[in-house]
Chain A
Amino acid sequence: MPPLVSVALDARGIARDFGGRPVLRGVDLSLGGGETVVLLGPNGAGKSTLLRILALLLSPRDGVVVIQGLDGRAARAEALRHVGYLGHESACYPDLTPRENLEFYAELYGVDDPVRIDELLEWTGLAEAVRRPLRTCSRGMVQRVGLARVLLHRPSVVLLDEPFTGLDPAASEALDERLRALRAAGCAVLAAVHDVPRAAALATRVLILHAGRIAWTSPASVPDAAALAEVYRATAVGRG
């Protein structure tokens, strides 16, 4: 595991309710630069809610989120410059082309670097589809444009909610490579995934979220896929 450069994201005591039902019950989580942390958990465990809170899109009932030393409440706009978040959907406009989408977000983030857009379009493999509205592209293509959007401003904290959904094997492999490159570049990555073998292969640390709490944290050496699956079954599935 590469050494941690610094604490990129620190969340303490995160709690959130929906309609009076507690979804997160005091989650503590730190992400260091150069870490790829995978969040496992059954449906309804609170993974998406936690990611949206860490991305400063949802306010927690209790707790604080600090990103690169910046308080997520007091210095939200500054903190957001360090964060890239990809949810279940791409947040890209179906009636714009991939390039137009990236150019739009580049303006919002103040990224004045056309070469960066070219580089990301090349990485997504959408150079040929670059003039087509996103609506005419496949789910996998849209997902890749969404990921390019997330990486556009070179965030130091990348939060991904099931990023492999809808990707074919080649695109998944390309995403694996990109995530490894981000780790090598000192970026902190937190990804919620359902695929335990992929989690074992990708992560420098694995967390299992169950019933709104971190129920298990992997040791410094992440177990292999079979052992991790066993732990997951015992921690999350076995408890119902």
Chain B
Amino acid sequence: MRATLAIVRKDLRIEWRTRETATTLAVLGVLLVTVLAFAHDPDPDAAPLLVPAVLWSAMVFTGLLGVERGFLLEREQDCLAGLRGAPIDPTALYAAKLTVNVLLLGATHAVVVPLTGLFLHVDLWPVLPSLAVVLLLGTVGFAAVATLFAFVTVRLRTRQVMLPLLVLPLLIPLLIAAVKATEAVLGRGLGGAPDALGVLVSFDVIFVTAGALLFPAIVKD
């Protein structure tokens, strides 16, 4: 736990100092929301139907970029060797990177969600608590998978191709459930999509556990 907190604090301190990842993700998020919202320009009745697609498209693109940058930080000056040579459980490194990725994606949601509501003329304020629950569940599942594979691909020259190729097929059930749950939040409420919520929770439990178990083997060499 101490090692996890130390790595989280270190990553957030570097991010606060450079603002590289947060700025990049926010700019990309704004760009995606703008393009998607104005490309469709829906009428007021159809606009809420577009919200889930815009939110989760932005999430996937910004998320893939964000998790990759988290490990690039460790490549410079071979800092990964410093972490791997420290007497810590490798799971602490996975937990730290997962936490930082969730926090950074959460910050991106804080920009993307209001903008989506604004551009699509949908008042998201009343459903914000329920929407936050769905976004959190989706973000944790996304980050659990992407953090694991970002570590695998960060040492490859073709990482920008390999990361989406490896991650996106695994994320399909999560994305379908997240879109369905978001639709429910905007219509019948959070209780309107129990199956989708069940998939999100199960996905999180399975992939966070799998990530924690597999990461030590991946980090070994």
Chain B residues 188-221 with CB under 8 Å of chain A are: 220-221
Q: How far is the CB of A137 from chain B (nearest CB, A)?
A: 12
Contact with A along B5-16 (1 / 0, CB 8 A): 010001001100
B10 A96 Cβ-Cβ under 8 A: yes
Stretch at the interface among A5-13, A27-35, A83-91, A200-208: A83-91
Main secondary structure of the interface of A (DSSP, over half): loop
Kindly list chain A residues whose C-beta atoms are within 8 Å of the C-beta of B83: 108
Count of chain B residues near A, Cβ 8 A: 25
Stretch at the interface among B71-79, B135-143, B156-164: B71-79
B220 A59 Cβ-Cβ under 8 A: yes
Q: Which residue of A lies closest to B79 (CB)?
A: A91
A94 with B87, Cβ < 8 A, contacts A107-B3, A149-B82 known: no
Kindly list chain B residues whose C-beta atoms are within 8 Å of the C-beta of A56: 85
B87 A77 Cβ-Cβ under 8 A: yes
Q: Which residue of A lies closest to B80 (CB)?
A: A91
**A91 is contacted by which of B77, B87, B221 (Cβ under 8 Å)?**
B77
Complex: A89 Cα to B88 Cα, angstroms: 21
Complex: A142 Cα to B220 Cα, angstroms: 26
Tier of interface size on chain A: 20 to 34
- CB-CB nearest 9 A-B residue pairs: A91-B82, A107-B6, A89-B78, A108-B86, A80-B87, A77-B87, A89-B77, A95-B14, A81-B87
**A-B residue pairs in contact (CB < 8 Å), sample of 29:** A52-B81, A56-B85, A57-B81, A57-B85, A58-B221, A59-B220, A77-B87, A78-B87, A81-B87, A85-B85, A87-B78, A89-B81, A91-B79, A91-B80, A92-B77, A92-B82, A93-B10, A93-B73, A93-B76, A94-B76, A96-B14, A100-B13, A108-B6, A108-B83, A108-B86, A108-B88, A109-B86, A133-B17, A149-B82
